[in-house]
């Protein structure tokens, strides 16, 4: 079990939960004697708008695996050597992808053996395009989709999409924890916000999220525990320091820690978490977990 905490853009682990959740409201002025007290009312408090993107949300990007919510949703890579992998048991597997004028070329490997390169360029877009690999031994396999960073000379880009995988008539969505994006593996956990999260131990691995110009605060949902390492948090390109996620206690204790970080209006904001591959000497691992990202916008009374 792990302890879950949210580190805001101002990474201050020691700040008290009471302070983080304090709601300060302006007190109503007293009567002056010139108006009836019956008409005096305390000003209405504004209720902030909370925007939360779970780890499976298409708004969250893992390395160069971006999410798109259109056409039922899918993830795509736009850089060479980005991989998406899926482990299954059976004699056949279908990779569900897409073809179009901006798609590139991908290599498919099953159990480490190449099954060819696939040119995903097409004059017209084909959503949920299926590529079947059959004749496999009836055992456990791992299929890897690797973006090569190359393309057909007619294509406008090098994108490689993953919509999901089909085995024995069962479709596993690209958002499933069973699909790994580079080093970002999915896990199920009763402590996680939606019972799942993603984590990586690889040096330089990163996850990030964008929020609109009205956002006044940003935060990162994560967890602490005896196997967790260190991460750097960056907001709008400015480092907010290093976060040590190590915690000796593994007692389940879930809470929010959401301090205010003032963000300038008028432009989109983004928060990025980078795995440092480093750890507290007492920790047994360098894993960094992403349960989601949260933004807060000013509310209206």
Query: What's the confidence (pLDDT) of residue 46?
Result: 65
pLDDT tens-place string over residues 50-104: 899 999 999 999 999 999 999 889 999 999 999 999 999 999 999 999 999 999 9
Single out the residue of 206, 210, 277 nearest to residue 245, CA to CA: 277
CA dihedral 258, 261, 267, 268 (to 10 degrees): -30
21 three-class SS: helix
Name the percent of the chain in helix, strand, coil, to the closest 5: 5, 50, 45
Confidence of residue 274 (pLDDT cuts 50, 70, 90): very high
Give me the phi and psi of 181, to 5 degrees please: -110, 110
Q: How far apart are CA 10 and CA 153, in angstroms?
A: 46
| pLDDT value at 15 more than 70 | no
Least-confidence region, from 18-27, 187-196, 240-249, 271-280? 18-27
Q: How far apart are CA 84 and CA 170, in angstroms?
A: 18
State pTM to two decimals. Answer: 0.83
- Which range in 132-136, 231-235, 255-259 is most confidently predicted, on average pLDDT? 132-136
Query: What's the confidence (pLDDT) of residue 252?
Result: 43
Query: What's the confidence (pLDDT) of residue 45?
Result: 55
| pLDDT value at 21 more than 50 | no
Q: Are 146 and 85 in contact (CB under 8 A)?
A: no
Q: Are 224 and 295 in contact (CB under 8 A)?
A: no
Segment 135-163 shows an average pLDDT of 98
| pLDDT value at 250 more than 60 | no
| pLDDT value at 257 more than 80 | no
Cβ within 8 Å of residue 136, ≥6 positions away: 90, 91, 92, 93, 110
Segment 248-265 shows an average pLDDT of 55
Q: Are 184 and 198 in contact (CB under 8 A)?
A: yes
Confidence of residue 253 (pLDDT cuts 50, 70, 90): very low
Q: How far apart are CA 137 and CA 93, in angstroms?
A: 11
How is residue 120 written in tokens?
Answer: 């995903």
Q: How far apart are CA 142 and CA 110, in angstroms?
A: 6
| pLDDT value at 184 more than 60 | yes
Q: What secondary structure letter does DSSP report for 129?
A: E
Sign of the dihedral defined by the CA atoms of residues 117, 123, 128, 134, in that order:
negative
Query: What's the confidence (pLDDT) of residue 44?
Result: 54
| pLDDT value at 209 more than 90 | yes
Full strand arrangement of the beta sheet holding 269-275: 160-162, 74-77, 65-68, 60-62, 206-211, 269-275, 230-235, 238-244
CA dihedral 208, 263, 26, 18 (to 10 degrees): 40
The domains located in the chain, with CATH, are 3-23+44-59+184-297 (2.60.120.260), 64-181 (2.60.120.260)
Confidence of residue 19 (pLDDT cuts 50, 70, 90): very low
pLDDT tens-place string over residues 99-127: 999 999 999 999 999 999 999 999 999 99
Q: How far apart are the first and last CA of the chain?
A: 40
121 three-class SS: strand
Q: How far apart are CA 105 and CA 126, in angstroms?
A: 15
DSSP string, 65-112: EEEE-GGG-EEEE-STT-EEEEEEEES-EEEEEEEBTTB-EEEEEETT
Segment 279-284 shows an average pLDDT of 95
């Amino acid at each position: 079990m792990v302890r879950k905490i949210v580190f805001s853009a101002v990474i201050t682990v020691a700040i008290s939960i009471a302070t983080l959740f304090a709601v300060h409201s302006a007190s109503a002025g007293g009567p002056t004697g010139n108006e009836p007290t019956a008409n005096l009312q305390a000003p209405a408090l504004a209720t902030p708008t909370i925007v939360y993107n779970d780890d499976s949300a298409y708004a969250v990007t893992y390395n160069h695996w971006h999410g798109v919510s259109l056409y039922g949703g899918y993830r795509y890579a736009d850089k060479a050597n980005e991989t998406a992998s899926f482990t299954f048991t059976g004699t056949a597997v279908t990779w569900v992808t897409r073809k179009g004028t901006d798609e590139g070329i991908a290599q498919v490997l099953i159990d480490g053996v190449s099954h060819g390169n696939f040119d995903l360029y097409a004059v017209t877009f084909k959503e949920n395009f299926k590529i079947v690999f059959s004749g496999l031994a009836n055992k456990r396999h791992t299929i890897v989709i690797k973006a090569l960073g190359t393309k057909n000379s007619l294509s406008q880009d090098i994108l490689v999409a993953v919509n999901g995988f089909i085995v024995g008539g069962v479709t596993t969505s690209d958002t499933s924890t069973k699909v790994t994006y580079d080093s970002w593996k999915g896990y199920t956990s009763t402590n996680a916000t939606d019972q799942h999260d993603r984590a990586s131990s690889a040096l330089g691995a990163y996850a990030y999220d964008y929020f609109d110009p009205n956002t006044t605060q940003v935060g990162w949902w994560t967890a602490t525990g005896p196997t967790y390492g260190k991460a750097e948090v960056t907001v709008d390109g400015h480092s907010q320091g290093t976060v040590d996620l190590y915690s000796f206690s593994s007692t389940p204790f879930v809470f929010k820690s959401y301090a205010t970080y003032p963000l300038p209006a008028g432009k989109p904001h983004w928060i990025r978490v980078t795995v440092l591959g480093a750890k507290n000497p007492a920790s047994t691992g360098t894993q960094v977990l992403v349960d989601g990202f949260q933004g807060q916008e000013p509310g209206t009374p």
